Structure 1
């Protein structure tokens, strides 16, 4: 029996997949598993969908994935809610004088690989509703997983109410606090601070547009500005034609994150980091009704993402959390989801599923590791800027846009390399 996948039709594979976590990575894995003909459902601990968060970025390598869904309709919906910098670009300022050192122009738009920068909750809602309402993928909310279990022929999750759900494969897309990670590694791997944190905020332009100093950012369409200083950078955007504002300030922080790494922040603390900076930064921050203090969790990719019997695997932040300066965290989780779906389809028979899951890790591992490092290199490029060098070559502090990252087609790549990779595991 054939099933519709938006732009193609594929036969059902009979492979049953359970995904834990309904973030962008988990939803993408579910949508792509559906497209490849697998039977899939999601279990999510949050009791209801809420439009929360602030800015999130998706590169063209994610846009290429979104474009394939529902004949491009999902990408069109996301484009309408995303920042448009085709005229404004990215203006980078020196932290103390406020001088615009360089304006990095936006790349030409590729209709087959669009770029999205928008409100995390609004964009997530589009993807969530597409998976649940249009594709009919079962998404079970308010279902916390207390245990993972695997046998030779299947894997299972045990829910808080004691119910056990089994499948051919379980995907742990349950973030940096992942319980699946403990089973895969065989030990508890606590998240560690990266040594940095961010203050972040999203708010309407109500007060911004009243202030002669800041109204410029709200009266001329979408904008994106960055102030670069010693071990601190401040990024500010206006979006939806200047109606919404958001900013992120990244700074050194060695706070203990054993219990939590997200707190309500204090504007007074933000002002301390902006002491001696361009007064425009404080003029923006003081319009903020509330701020979140977010400690950045980071680690190199885990030694492995796949359990002993090959029936449970990790995806996205549960395996490889990214720094925001990579601008690739959510996109790489999506590439994971595409790749695991292709590998399960190409397995060809149920007895080859564990080998296919191990092939998924092999295909993804080195690429993820390299891209993770770009988060550190971009941060350090800004935080340790040599201003004499920058005066000679202002492009040296441009946000990197590398073809090996952006031109990647996760589905095409997985299809091309799968046969060679799986030979290692059969």
Structure 2
């Protein structure tokens, strides 16, 4: 039933690139408009859980991802000193779980789409309906017509603001730091993600492909808090003094320039995402905290579902309604679970932290089942 001639995608990150790949592979005409002048993905590492590697398999990219990623078999939760609380086996599926650098995943996606499909250095400004078409305007003066428009332009999406108003996302009381190093710490366990929880702070690390260690830290903090005069590295060393030894080893081994700092936001899940032949995808539609590691995975799922809906429906409006109805309940659940998980990390009183750790140990089976439910999903 495919009759759509041209799909405009605003945003060339993982969600936009995956959607361009899936649509191009399905025979659609697609054009991606990205505001940066270079097609690259910032950030550091991500975990691709089995629900996401299933998408890559369907897109014919899994073997390439395995070559540039690192297999993960276990997700281990620990106290700040390193005492195991829960150990979740994540290799129980028919598909692997991978630790991968965001840039490597991004490169796999866009390198399999003709380069002329990506138009760089184009800041989206607004859209308008022109009959049954959509017209997009950019700051450069570029004007583009298409049959449908997908906003894959992230947390502070301009497409979303054009559809529903410019309402800010919700700050969730945490700042995160991310780092990348070639150093392998003494407490590294092959194929493990290891996370450590203390009073209103957490730290985790895992191996990515190409023998790189990715680490991430989070701490309760006011929104927009400036860096310490000591610098990010020294601030983190003080923050995690006395924690599991590998944590300080990793911070010490990371160049200051390779430490990224970001405040954490999400939005309350609401509908609609779409109006007529315009819709949202990934963080533009359903931003979530990184506590379950599902943000990029949800964008990959979105890309496949939106492609299937556009193949099944000749009218983009109908396709986007179908896409939204198929995706809303799942993404809403994961946004809410991610927030609940984040709130568990806000506890500061040491007695409350001890109770939380005991609770986590007692709830090990339930947490295992929850992970299985999320990761066993197949689009």
Q: TM-score, normalised by structure 2?
A: 0.87
State the Cα distance separating 1:51 from its structure 2 match: 5.8
For the residues of structure 2 that align with 1:14 and 1:65, how far apart are their CA atoms? 23
SS of 2:153's equivalent in the other structure is coil
- Match for residue 273 of structure 1? 239
Runs of 4+ in 1 over 6 A off after TM superposition: none
| Alignment match of 1:121 (pick from 100, 103, 109) | 103
- Match for residue 248 of structure 1? 216
Q: TM-score, normalised by structure 1?
A: 0.78
- Match for residue 138 of structure 1? 117
1:21 and 2:8 are equivalent in the alignment: no
State the Cα distance separating 1:190 from its structure 2 match: 2.1
RMSD, aligned CA:
2.7
SS of 1:84's equivalent in the other structure is strand
State the Cα distance separating 1:199 from its structure 2 match: 1.0
Change (3 A) 1:48 1:389: closer
- Match for residue 372 of structure 2? 402
1:203 and 2:203 are equivalent in the alignment: no
State the Cα distance separating 1:394 from its structure 2 match: 5.2
- What are the Cα deviations for residues 256-283 of structure 1, in whole angstroms up to 9, with x where unaligned? 49xx99xx96122213432443344223
SS of 2:150's equivalent in the other structure is strand
Change (3 A) 1:265 1:127: farther
Aligned ranges 1:266-415 → 2 under 5 Å: 266-290=232-256, 291-307=259-275, 310-348=276-314, 352-381=315-344, 386=355, 387-390=357-360, 400-403=370-373, 405-410=374-379
- What are the Cα deviations for residues 291-311 of structure 1, in whole angstroms up to 9, with x where unaligned? 11111121112442113xx02
| 8 Å CA contact 1:378, 1:400 repeated in 2 | no
| Alignment match of 1:235 (pick from 204, 224, 238) | 204
| Alignment match of 1:56 (pick from 35, 39, 46) | 46
- Match for residue 160 of structure 1? 139
SS of 1:104's equivalent in the other structure is strand
- Match for residue 157 of structure 2? 178
State the Cα distance separating 1:162 from its structure 2 match: 1.4
For the residues of structure 2 that align with 1:409 and 1:399, how far apart are their CA atoms? 16
State the Cα distance separating 1:252 from its structure 2 match: 1.0
For the residues of structure 2 that align with 1:79 and 1:44, how far apart are their CA atoms? 27
SS of 1:130's equivalent in the other structure is coil
| 8 Å CA contact 1:184, 1:304 repeated in 2 | no
SS of 1:140's equivalent in the other structure is strand
- Match for residue 421 of structure 1? none
State the Cα distance separating 1:101 from its structure 2 match: 3.7
Aligned ranges 1:5-20 → 2 under 5 Å: 13-20=3-10
SS of 2:222's equivalent in the other structure is coil
* Range that drifts further, 275-284 or 169-178: 275-284
State the Cα distance separating 1:409 from its structure 2 match: 2.6
The structure number with the bigger radius of gyration is 1
Greater length-normalized contact order (CA 8 Å, ≥ 6 residues apart): 2
Q: Which runs of 5+ in 1 are unaligned?
A: 1-10, 209-213, 411-426
State the Cα distance separating 1:18 from its structure 2 match: 0.6
1:99 and 2:83 are equivalent in the alignment: yes
SS of 1:32's equivalent in the other structure is helix
Change (3 A) 1:117 1:265: farther
- Match for residue 350 of structure 2? none
Q: How many residues align?
A: 368
For the residues of structure 1 that align with 2:191 and 2:361, how far apart are their CA atoms? 27
Change (3 A) 1:269 1:368: same
